[in-house]
Amino acid sequence: MADYAELAELAERLFEMSGDDDEQLAEVLDTLDGETRGALLASDLLNAYQVFYYYFRETPDELTMERLQLHAASDLARGVVIDEVDIYEVIFRMEGGDPVLLITDGEKALAQFRGPEAYEKIALYMDECL
């Protein structure tokens, strides 16, 4: 599904079907074929929070949620800062269709976690190491 207009129409139907409920939207996205789902998750039609929720099925704290909601899903190719702890930043990005969370000091990455368990793993890392 490469046509943007069709993708936009599909996104609108998905929002209607899910009633803008994050959990229901994630469940509906699960029913799509991988190519279509991937196109939506990398587009400007969803926000970064919807992608975050789709992969991690977790609701982050309010500030993190607001930061993610202000960015389009397409911004995740570059990465979005979702948290700051002292001098460290937590960045959420997408690499090759996988969700990635990393902690950086601004110059180098201290830790990186990939996949659906990344949010849980980074929280443990931050509790133990920061």
Cα 69 to Cα 59, 73, 129, distances in angstroms: 12, 9, 28
pLDDT number for residue 130? 78
Tell me the residue type at 15.
F
Domain count along the chain: 1
Strand order in the sheet with 88-95: 80-85, 88-95, 98-104, 109-114
Whole-model pTM: value is: 0.95
Reading the chain (130 residues) residue by residue, the pLDDT tens digits are 568 999 999 999 999 999 979 999 999 999 999 999 999 999 999 999 999 999 999 999 999 999 999 999 999 999 999 999 999 999 999 999 999 999 999 899 999 999 999 999 999 999 998 7
pLDDT number for residue 2? 61
Range of the domain at 33: 4-129
